[in-house]
Structure 1
Amino acid sequence: MTRFSFDTLRRYPDAEAVNLYAVDATDRLLLREAEAELRPSSCGQLVVVNDQYGALTLGAAAEYGLTGIRVHQDPLTGEQALANNAEHTGLAGSYRSLPLDADLISGARVVLVQAPKSIDALREIVELVARHAAEDVTMYVGGRVKHLTRAVNEVLAESFEQVHASLAAQKSRVITGRGKLPITSEPSFPRRRLEPETGLWVCAYGMAFAGLKLDLGTRRLLTQLDRLPSEPGTAVDLGCGTGILAASIARARPALSVIATDQSAAAVASAAETMRANGLQDRVSMLRDDAMSTLADGSVDVILCNPPFHLGNSVHTGAALKMFRAAGRVLRPGGQLWTVFNSHLAHQPALERYVGATRVADRDPKFTVTVSRRR
């Protein structure tokens, strides 16, 4: 049996800090609740969804001798952290990373899920389990007690005869579903809506940020599109979400070649559906990447960015700063970075440092829009 300690796991390449952790009480509780079903005979029948940095996957591999574990993590940095942690713990061959689809779930008898933030994200996972897992599958959904609302139980009850909540441990709880119910409806995802302010069809998978809504920060950036360069060049929607901004750039500036990029698998898949729904699939290319790491230095003319200010459930500027550094590398000299952020955040000095001269283009008590010119 491989010697293994949760304490050796890291978040890298995601942000690391004293208040940010690679493993939490929910990981440990999920493994404990599923212990009776995690045995070597379960090899190839365990699926892990939303494993943050690999604690569930590698814990199951090391503690119970499992191999053939199928894993889906929406953030690319989660996949990379799992790969790094698997390498240094000697467990690199114990799992496969797969998209969130039928191949991930097919024949699974045990499914471990770190509860996603949105009910839509959980519903998409539950629907896939109901359609494609083994008939005797058991599904375990774990999370912090304060985030496990009654809606979590209700979503599981739509697909399972028995739904049971564990006792709380270190402010975490696990909701278990057993006994699959017959499937009586069509798949719910991707969802689609005609967004009235933009006139665009918006498509969204469950884990896509903001879902079918127009995010308030994105709405603010949209007011600046007529100030973008009109000559031929390349524009990047950095952190594209469902692709509303990328689609709007493509319509407003036909001379620009547009790249929609995000580290979220659900975001990139949603944006691709949004482009197809609006006939823009030939104008906008999709890229799942972490902060434009695969784009060449000095290769882009304009970047638009609505950066996150959370990492998981923690308020942290690490993701935004990583995006600003990347923009400084990828923009050509004289290229523009348009950024929107909450007005209380002191991002302007970082933009000056990593990109170049930065001015406020629009501001109110809620949002600030800046434009930075690459030095």
Structure 2
Amino acid sequence: MEIYQSPFGPVALARYPKRRSETLRAWDAADEYLINHIVEQQLISSDNRLLILNDSFGALAVTLCTGFPELQLLSTGDSWLSQRGAEANMAANHLTTNAVNLCHSLEWPERGQTFKLVIIKIPKSLSLLEDQLHRLQPYITDSTTIVAATMAKHLHNSHLQLFEKLIGTTKTSQAKKKARLAFISADSKAENSDNPYPKSLELRELNLQLQNHANVFSRDGLDIGSRFFLQNLPRNERYRTIIDLGSGNGLLGIVAAQKNPAAEIIFTDESFMAVASAKHNFSINCPNRVASFQVTDCLQGIEKNSADLILCNPPFHQQNTITTHIAEQMFRESKQVLKTGGELWVIGNRHLGYHVKLKRLFGNCQTAASNNKFVILQSVVSKN
């Protein structure tokens, strides 16, 4: 754990899950800027009801609860990892489990409640921010203080225009340590249009109907990588348990289910919105099939030696951070979850070099299909 020297004293913070050679912190300069601004402007009083959106690993919630033990705080976001990180950081700083009410992105409080202060860490996904601002509207009044933050290079006019359109007049701060704040004045006259999410998507070439929440990858159409993977998905009567790892809207698992009618499908993703989308889409497109859905970190909670086939399109971003550690974790855990003879099928951009990592881990890796941009790799769990 690293120590953040907050205005209230040292706060221990760590990313989740912990890794031996962690190079990234659980907070950034935008978190520091936000907290310092809140303290300097005395935005919190003993009766404040505070809402935090997209708190990374609980850095904001844990720090503010340390300084204001009586604070009524609700924190919501779409990342299971951030929620588990928040719980771990609360425990590390000796905060009780009820110090922060952690909710996910589709789980908001009952209407009629309002917040005096709203803090927003601006997410990478503009559509997620749009969905959140629509959901936020019933919980704010003209007297609500709203402050948003991100690193300056990630703050774009599109963010500011969205705040102006859906909440009210928006101004920005000067940059400090390459971070910037946005101050949004809640205006009851701001646009109160219907939330466009979740969005419906028809894939006529596959005869599929999909419904995608705001934070789902490729929610507006079929991306070229997924299209290529779908064209080459395996079919084999040996596949009794198939896992769609990092499932997104569940498209891979749905088509795999259609190709392998005897298989049970398991969908996993760390995004609450992704798993909700996958669950809905499977029920619509495979109404008489059995499947299970789990919001989790890669394959955490999935039984070892239980799967015959794992399908994986690994992400190489975590919010605004480019990283390969998620893919590497997916590969390691897949080897543990697959039965002997079980297969991991991975698609990736050719330049990512996944074949090197897979061959080192599994002892084998072959190309199932490739084109000028993507490669589909297959590794098999051999007998020890």
Q: Return the TM-score normalized by structure 1.
A: 0.91
Match of 2:369 among 358, 362, 366: 362
- Aligned residue in 2 for 1:55: 59
Which whole-Å CA distance do the structure 2 matches of 1:367 and 1:347 have between them?
11
- Aligned residue in 1 for 2:206: 198
- Aligned residue in 2 for 1:70: 74
Which whole-Å CA distance do the structure 2 matches of 1:180 and 1:16 have between them?
47
Match of 1:312 among 299, 316, 319: 319
Q: Structure 2: which 5+ residue stretches go unaligned? A: 1-5
- Residue 234 of structure 1 contacts residue 302 of structure 1 at CA under 8 Å; is this kept in 2? yes
Residue by residue over 1:109-138, the C-alpha shift from the partner in whole angstroms, topping out at 9 and shown as x without a partner, is: 212111111211101111111123355322
Which whole-Å CA distance do the structure 2 matches of 1:84 and 1:281 have between them?
39
Q: C-alpha displacement at 1:192, in angstroms? A: 1.2
Q: C-alpha displacement at 1:356, in angstroms? A: 4.5
- Residue 57 of structure 2 contacts residue 86 of structure 2 at CA under 8 Å; is this kept in 1? yes
Aligned pairs (5 A) from 1:90-109 = 90-93=94-97, 94-100=99-105, 101-103=107-109, 106-109=113-116
- Residue 302 of structure 1 contacts residue 331 of structure 1 at CA under 8 Å; is this kept in 2? yes
> Which letter maps to 1:27?
D
- Aligned residue in 2 for 1:26: 30
Q: Structure 1: which 5+ residue stretches go unaligned? A: none
Q: Structure 1 148/303 Cα, relative in aligned 2: closer, same or farther at 3 Å? A: same
Q: Structure 1 350/161 Cα, relative in aligned 2: closer, same or farther at 3 Å? A: closer
> Which letter maps to 2:365?
T
Q: Structure 1 32/168 Cα, relative in aligned 2: closer, same or farther at 3 Å? A: same
Q: Structure 1 281/153 Cα, relative in aligned 2: closer, same or farther at 3 Å? A: farther
User: Which secondary structure does the structure 2 equivalent of 1:102 belong to?
Assistant: coil
Which whole-Å CA distance do the structure 1 matches of 2:352 and 2:199 have between them?
33
Aligned pairs (5 A) from 1:104-119 = 106-119=113-126
Which whole-Å CA distance do the structure 2 matches of 1:104 and 1:262 have between them?
27
Aligned pairs (5 A) from 1:140-219 = 140-182=147-189, 184-219=192-227
Q: Structure 1 21/333 Cα, relative in aligned 2: closer, same or farther at 3 Å? A: same
User: Which secondary structure does the structure 1 equivalent of 2:15 belong to?
Assistant: coil
Which whole-Å CA distance do the structure 2 matches of 1:291 and 1:253 have between them?
23
Which whole-Å CA distance do the structure 2 matches of 1:269 and 1:194 have between them?
18
Which whole-Å CA distance do the structure 2 matches of 1:34 and 1:195 have between them?
47
Residue by residue over 1:206-234, the C-alpha shift from the partner in whole angstroms, topping out at 9 and shown as x without a partner, is: 22223233233222211112x33234601
> Which letter maps to 1:34?
I
Structure 1 residue 262 corresponds to structure 2 residue 255:
no
User: Which secondary structure does the structure 2 equivalent of 1:5 belong to?
Assistant: strand
> Which letter maps to 1:339?
V
- Residue 137 of structure 1 contacts residue 180 of structure 1 at CA under 8 Å; is this kept in 2? no
Which whole-Å CA distance do the structure 2 matches of 1:281 and 1:90 have between them?
48
Which whole-Å CA distance do the structure 2 matches of 1:322 and 1:273 have between them?
27
Which whole-Å CA distance do the structure 1 matches of 2:249 and 2:162 have between them?
23
Structure 1 residue 323 corresponds to structure 2 residue 323:
no
> Which letter maps to 1:170?
K
Match of 2:89 among 85, 89, 99: 85
Q: C-alpha displacement at 1:283, in angstroms? A: 3.6
Q: Structure 1 176/201 Cα, relative in aligned 2: closer, same or farther at 3 Å? A: farther
CA RMSD of aligned residues (A): 2.4
- Residue 238 of structure 2 contacts residue 308 of structure 2 at CA under 8 Å; is this kept in 1? no
User: Which secondary structure does the structure 1 equivalent of 2:330 belong to?
Assistant: helix
- Residue 7 of structure 2 contacts residue 36 of structure 2 at CA under 8 Å; is this kept in 1? no
User: Which secondary structure does the structure 2 equivalent of 1:250 belong to?
Assistant: helix
Match of 2:299 among 282, 292, 303: 292
Q: C-alpha displacement at 1:66, in angstroms? A: 4.5
Q: C-alpha displacement at 1:257, in angstroms? A: 1.0
Which whole-Å CA distance do the structure 1 matches of 2:200 and 2:71 have between them?
38
- Residue 246 of structure 1 contacts residue 284 of structure 1 at CA under 8 Å; is this kept in 2? no
Q: Return the TM-score normalized by structure 2.
A: 0.89
Q: Structure 1 16/207 Cα, relative in aligned 2: closer, same or farther at 3 Å? A: farther
| More displaced stretch, 170-179 vs 115-124 | 170-179
Q: How many residues align?
A: 372
- Aligned residue in 1 for 2:3: none
| More displaced stretch, 335-344 vs 8-17 | 8-17
| More displaced stretch, 176-185 vs 154-163 | 176-185
Q: Structure 1 277/318 Cα, relative in aligned 2: closer, same or farther at 3 Å? A: same
Match of 1:5 among 10, 29, 32: 10
> Which letter maps to 1:24?
D
> Which letter maps to 1:335?
G
